[in-house]
Amino acid sequence: MRKPVELFKQMQSLVNKYVKHYASDFEIDKNCIMGTYPESQSQSGIYYWYIRDSGTQLMSIENLAWKETSSFISAEFWLSQALAIYQVDVKAQTLTPVSLAQMQNIFKPGKKHGFRDKAKLHYPAAQNQ
């Protein structure tokens, strides 16, 4: 993946504006987008990104569909502290503001799934079964 330089510049300006502590969280977010942490990388290139007074939180749209994931649990937990929420589209290189109500609606369809469904998410070859 090519480094989305312009997108990272836009995100950095928001970090500079809002984050007072733990701005280094943004380095982790960039690494997630670049694929350093494959379990956190979005196959679609779409993430939700919280900006808080004390850091940032990046979650792939795929992981938010599963109630059992740490991303889903973290997203629900940190939502009350979000100063700003954005949808990050890496392929289109866009940041789109998301309201609190929109984010809460994203949580509603979260599902609990059995083993076969989880395997399909984490092991794409299992989708053929």
- Break the chain into its structural domains and give their ranges: 5-128
pLDDT at 69: 78
* Arithmetic mean of pLDDT over the chain: 84
Asked whether the beta carbons of 30 and 8 are under 8 A apart, the reply is yes
What are the angstrom distances between the C-alpha of 127 and each of 33, 48, 114, 117, 120?
24, 25, 14, 9, 5
pLDDT at 19: 97
Residue 41: helix, strand or coil by DSSP? coil
pLDDT at 113: 47
- Choice among 7-11, 17-21, 68-72 with the minimum mean pLDDT: 68-72
Round the CA-based radius of gyration of the chain to a whole number and report it.
15
- Choice among 8-17, 48-57, 61-70, 86-95 with the minimum mean pLDDT: 61-70
Asked whether the beta carbons of 42 and 61 are under 8 A apart, the reply is yes
- Residues in contact with 43: Cβ distance below 8 Å, sequence separation at least 6, in sequence order: 60, 62
pLDDT higher at 71 or 32: 32
pLDDT at 2: 78
Q: Please compute the mean of the pLDDT values over residues 20-47 and round it to a whole number.
A: 92
CA angle 105, 15, 82 (to 5 degrees): 30
Instruction: Report d(CA 41, CA 58) in Å as an integer.
Output: 10
